[in-house]
Amino acid sequence: MGNAQSPSTNPRFASASRSFTQNELKDLKSLIVSLAAQSQSNGQYISPSVFQMYFGIHGPLGERMFHLITQKRKDQKLTFEDLVIAKGIYEKGIRNDIDEFIYQLLDVNDDGIVGRSDLEAVLTAILDYIISPKNPEPGSSSHPDSFNMFLNAATFSKEVEGCTEKSMSFEDFKRWFSLLPSVRKFLGSLLMPPDSGRLGAQVPHLLYLENIDSNLLIMRKEYAWHIGGALSQHDLEEWKLLYHSALNGLSFNTFLGNVTIDQGPTVLIIKDKEGYIYGGYASQPWERHGDFYGDMKSFLFQIYPQASIFRPTGANSNLQWCAVNFSSESIPNGLGFGGRENHFGLFLSASFDQGHTFTCSTFGSPCLSKTNRIYPEVVECWGVVAKGQQQERPDTINGSVLERFKEERHMLNMVGLANSS
């Protein structure tokens, strides 16, 4: 590139360059040269359209990112120096600098205010990318409430002179990010090439029997993306349906029989009769215990009407609960997360027809439903298949996880035990 051959006099570029190795700078320069050639700029700069096409960021969010990277010059020319400076802050900077960059990125209207319309534009771009029409699969269509569930997690507390609506302050923004790690990952990796496994863009492949109507399932692609934001990349390959109350009956024993086969992490998701959707990620297998167990990888989540993730606070180690056939009132039979006996962050009784949810210091979570007492309408449990384990599971047929139980459940049905509790 023409101006890249002579030493730069820009102190910001010199400072940012020190954050990269020589090989990294060489790779960035090669990328610029390649994209500049496509921009028909005689190798001098990248045009907005080529930038958006390569990085897969379109619409107002793509325009805003281009505007920030080019340091708001409005000349429609992205240079090598621009990219190094932006990536130096956005990817190599300290946490607060990165958050400040992303906070500015949210201001897609470029009016110095992060308002509701800004977030709407950003979330639209994210969901359009995540729920890609290029790769349709069962359960991949956008739920009518998917957009609002992320927006409802936001707080707008900043008074703006001359505006009737409040805006999102920097503190509001950081709290929103803490509740939505999937959004944080996505917006924090937009300058990664899309084909390099961009953080925050991976959605677990949902596996279940082909004869199951996807409309029966609570779990949807965007829900899995939200929950997966709190997990590592190797836990986002495949999630397999292990239990569904409408298919397997409201049975604790059937639940345990199905989910303990794999002895791995699971995602428990509940839709109650109030229409609220929430659940928990169990990092340890569901096993009979007379006390709390588990590790700090477990967490609670909300989906509807508001999407949020609640990780362990360290206040206590009351993480998972699984009690079966205990006669003592001090040991309630059922599944639970956080809190204490008879006052859990989330609890599902052994009858699977009721439970409760309370404000919980274990996860810093609120009551997850409309009221403390919950009455489940649908209960699902998905097994998390870690990366590299898929090939070890030849019993998974045609995207199904219940096929393995076919013969066993046939025998149970013959003796009338399939749905017994």
CB 370 within 8 A of CB 276: yes
Whole-number pLDDT of residue 6: 57
The per-residue b/e assignment along 232-255, b for 16 or more CB within 10 angstroms, e otherwise, is eeebbbbbbbbbbbebbbbbbebb
Q: How large is the average pLDDT for residues 201-217?
A: 91
Same domain, 116 and 238: no
Q: What's the predicted TM-score (pTM) here?
A: 0.86
CB 41 within 8 A of CB 49: no
Q: Does position 87 have pLDDT exceeding 50, yes or no?
A: yes
Q: How far apart are CA 126 and CA 188, in angstroms?
A: 12
Same domain, 164 and 214: no
Q: How far apart are CA 156 and CA 167, in angstroms?
A: 5
Sheet holding 355-356, edge to edge: 320-323, 334-340, 343-349, 355-356, 373-374
Q: Lowest-pLDDT range, 127-131, 153-157, 265-269, 356-360?
A: 127-131
Helix 22-38 vs helix 80-90: angle between axes, to the nearest 10 degrees? Answer: 130
Q: How far apart are CA 221 and CA 204, in angstroms?
A: 8
Q: Which of 196, 214, 235 is the last residue of a domain?
A: 196
Peptide bond into 332 cis (omega under 30): no
Q: How far apart are CA 362 and CA 368, in angstroms?
A: 14
Same domain, 240 and 382: yes
Q: How far apart are CA 116 and CA 13, in angstroms?
A: 34
Q: Does position 138 have pLDDT exceeding 80, yes or no?
A: no
Query: How many distinct structural domains can be found in the chain?
Result: 2
The answer to whether residue 419 sits within a structural domain is no
| Residue 319 token pair | 């993480």
How far CA 82 is from CA of 76, 114, 188, 416, in Å, comes to 12, 24, 18, 69
Name the band, by pLDDT with cuts 50, 70 and 90, for residue 258.
very high
The answer to whether residue 67 sits within a structural domain is yes
CB 189 within 8 A of CB 197: no
H helix or E strand, kind and range, residue 381: strand 376-385
Q: Give the DSSP letter of residue 141.
A: S
Same domain, 108 and 148: yes
Same domain, 236 and 97: no
Q: How large is the average pLDDT for residues 160-183?
A: 94
The answer to whether residue 398 sits within a structural domain is yes
Q: Which stretches within 286-405 are classed as H helix?
A: none
Q: Does position 413 have pLDDT exceeding 70, yes or no?
A: no
Q: How large is the average pLDDT for residues 285-306?
A: 95
**DSSP bridge pairs for 356:** 347, 373
Q: Which of 196, 215, 233 is the last residue of a domain?
A: 196
Residue type, 250: L
Q: Which of 179, 196, 213 is the last residue of a domain?
A: 196
Q: Does position 9 have pLDDT exceeding 80, yes or no?
A: no
The mean of the pLDDT values for the chain is 87
Tell me which residue has tokens 């699977």: 352
Same domain, 175 and 220: no
Same domain, 22 and 112: yes
The answer to whether residue 114 sits within a structural domain is yes
Instruction: Give the domain range for residue 237.
Output: 205-414
Q: How large is the average pLDDT for residues 183-210?
A: 88
Same domain, 131 and 248: no
Q: What is the pLDDT of residues 15-44, one digit of tens each?
A: 999 999 999 999 999 999 999 999 988 888
Q: What is the pLDDT of residues 376-396, one digit of tens each?
A: 999 999 999 977 665 444 443
- Name 74's Cβ contacts closer than 8 Å, sequence gap at least 6: 67
Q: How far apart are CA 126 and CA 200, in angstroms?
A: 10
